[in-house]
Amino acid sequence: MNEPEPKPDISLRLLEIFGAMMRCETTVEAAEQLGISQPAVSNGIRQLESQLGVTLFERLHRRLQPTEEALLLFEDVRPVFSMLRSFSTRARSMRNGLSGRCG
């Protein structure tokens, strides 16, 4: 009998919000990039910080400045974003009939 895979402690959506914040200068810009509201970005960052028990951003002058911990964690999670882009590209190619199952 197969054991169910344990659920990850952190959702991909929270990591996506974190990645957008690391690439963007403001929560507004990150929200626009993700197609969500600015409060959803702020809430996602707070939720991720709570789950990790680590402060990822210092709130300075109405901006979020990444902490040293955020910079280190971002380097660890970057390959995940690359894998997700690759997955999306492959799925799009399959949908368009450009690749898929052989035979």
CATH of the domain at 46: 1.10.10.10
- State the average pLDDT for the chain: 89
Would 28 be classed as within a structural domain?
Answer: yes
Q: Looking at the predicted structure, is the pLDDT value of residue 53 above 60?
A: yes
Burial class of residue 41, CB neighbours in 10 A (0-12, 13-18, 19+): buried
Average pLDDT, stretch 18-27? 93
Q: What is the pLDDT of residue 101?
A: 58
Q: Model's pTM, two decimal places?
A: 0.79
C-alpha separations of 56 from 43, 77, 96 in Å: 13, 14, 39
The answer as to whether 52 is a domain residue is yes
| Token pair for 34 | 């993700």
Distances (CA, A) of 31 to 10, 18, 28, 47, 87: 19, 11, 5, 16, 22
End-to-end Cα separation, the chain, in angstroms? 31
pLDDT tens-place string over residues 63-94: 889 999 999 999 999 999 889 889 988 898 89
| pLDDT for 102 beyond 60 | no
17, part of any domain: yes
Classify residue 7: in a domain, yes or no: no
Count up the domains in the chain and report the number.
1
> Does 102 reside within a domain?
no
Amino acid of residue 2 = N
- Return the pLDDT at 103: 45
pLDDT of 43 higher than 50 = yes
Answer whether 24's CB lies under 8 Å from 57's CB.
Answer: no
Provide the domain limits for residue 81.
12-94
